[in-house]
Amino acid sequence: MVMRTLFCWRTFNSSISVLQVLLKPLTSHAFYCKPSLGESYQKEAIFLLQRLYHDGRPRGPLWRGKKLIGKEALFVIQGLKRFKENEEKLDKFTKLHVLRLLKMDKIAVLNELERQEEVGLAFKMFNIIKKENWYKPDVYVYKDLVVALARRQKMEEAMRVWESLKGDELFPDSQTYAEVIRGFLRYGSPADAMNIYEDMKKSPYPPEELPFRILLKGLLPHPLLRNRVKQDFLELFPERHIYDPLEETFGMQ
């Protein structure tokens, strides 16, 4: 039955595009053989035609999950990941393929590298984008990169991005402050976490609880620093409760 269906397809004028064939009902063309074939055989014929006329695009989850990423951007992402351990090949690949990408492709590459937690490559891509004539400081671009670097505990790179953000006179949101503070506390650098906290206090946006609570928990081994944060927290949120392990355990006032 499949061979019979294919024979019917061959009798159709080959000059009509595959797209036209798929869009129009099968019963409207002269190549439609017999109604007895039924709907199941019509679907089978369409499936076979789709396999014969492959348009070259990736199929399956890879394509459906990355519809906004062009083929050039996907090629660049794969190449950057392939050569990330070889600085010489990475620089050569960057000059040949990355620099010639269009604006939206470069942004798509940056976002996808962040999503895949390839933060070293994302940091490199961010520096490339900053040198473009069309680049304008965007707090959300900074935020995504800083959060990605902080979560991977790449704090030196995170601070470079942070200083660049401050240089552009931008202020991130509470989530960004919280992630960077958490990153420094995990990295074992409470002094840097406090520096970020001081920057947060200068922000024009209203303060939120999350960064304070992360600091209060992370600074338990550092009571002097914790007391400073605690006083600020009680002034800003007088109705909120702070869990103090020593007070709860030993009844200290």
User: Is residue 201 located within the same domain as residue 226?
Assistant: yes
Residues 111 and 126: beta-carbon distance below 8 Å: no
Q: Phi-psi region for residue 158, left (φ > 0), alpha (ψ -120 to 50) or beta?
A: alpha
pLDDT at 103 > cutoff 80: yes
Q: Give the pLDDT confidence score for residue 50 in this predicted structure.
A: 53
User: Is residue 82 located within the same domain as residue 127?
Assistant: yes
User: Is residue 41 located within the same domain as residue 74?
Assistant: no
Taking residues 2-26, what's their average pLDDT?
Answer: 46
pLDDT at 90 > cutoff 90: yes
User: Is residue 11 located within the same domain as residue 110?
Assistant: no
Give the residue with greater pLDDT, 24 vs 42: 42
Ranges 6-20, 31-45, 56-70, 126-140, most confident: 126-140
The domain that holds 127 is classified in CATH as 1.25.40.10
Domain interval for residue 100: 61-135
Q: Give the pLDDT confidence score for residue 250 in this predicted structure.
A: 40
* Range of lowest pLDDT (65-74, 128-137, 148-157, 219-228): 65-74
Q: Give the pLDDT confidence score for residue 2 in this predicted structure.
A: 45
Taking residues 95-117, what's their average pLDDT?
Answer: 92
Look up residue 127 and give its amino acid. Answer: N
User: Is residue 143 located within the same domain as residue 119?
Assistant: no
User: Is residue 164 located within the same domain as residue 226?
Assistant: yes
**Segment 162-203, tens digit of pLDDT:** 888 888 888 888 888 998 899 889 888 888 899 999 989 988
Q: Give the pLDDT confidence score for residue 54 in this predicted structure.
A: 45
Final residue before a domain boundary, out of 135, 160, 189: 135
**Segment 42-89, tens digit of pLDDT:** 556 555 555 544 444 444 433 334 446 889 999 999 999 999 999 999
User: Is residue 101 located within the same domain as residue 163?
Assistant: no
pLDDT at 14 > cutoff 60: no
User: Is residue 6 located within the same domain as residue 39?
Assistant: yes
220: which residues sit within 8 A by CB, 6+ positions away?
226, 245
User: Is residue 159 located within the same domain as residue 101?
Assistant: no
- Secondary structure of 180-236 as H, E, C letters: HHHHHHHCCCHHHHHHHHHHHHCCCCCCCHHHHHHHHHHCCCCHHHHHHHHHHHHHH
Residues 164 and 142: beta-carbon distance below 8 Å: yes
Q: Indicate the average pLDDT of the chain.
A: 77
How far, in Å, are 46, 53, 89, 160 from residue 10 at the CA level?
Answer: 13, 13, 49, 63
Percent of the chain residues past pLDDT 90, beyond the cut: 35
CA separation for the pair 110, 250 (Å, rounded):
51
User: Is residue 155 located within the same domain as residue 246?
Assistant: yes
Q: Give the pLDDT confidence score for residue 57 in this predicted structure.
A: 44
pLDDT at 13 > cutoff 60: no
Taking residues 207-229, what's their average pLDDT?
Answer: 91
User: Is residue 175 located within the same domain as residue 246?
Assistant: yes
Percent of the chain residues past pLDDT 70, beyond the cut: 70
Domain count, the chain: 3
User: Is residue 127 located within the same domain as residue 104?
Assistant: yes
CA separation for the pair 2, 253 (Å, rounded):
85
In 3D, which of 181, 253, 247, 171 has the Cα closest to residue 219? 181
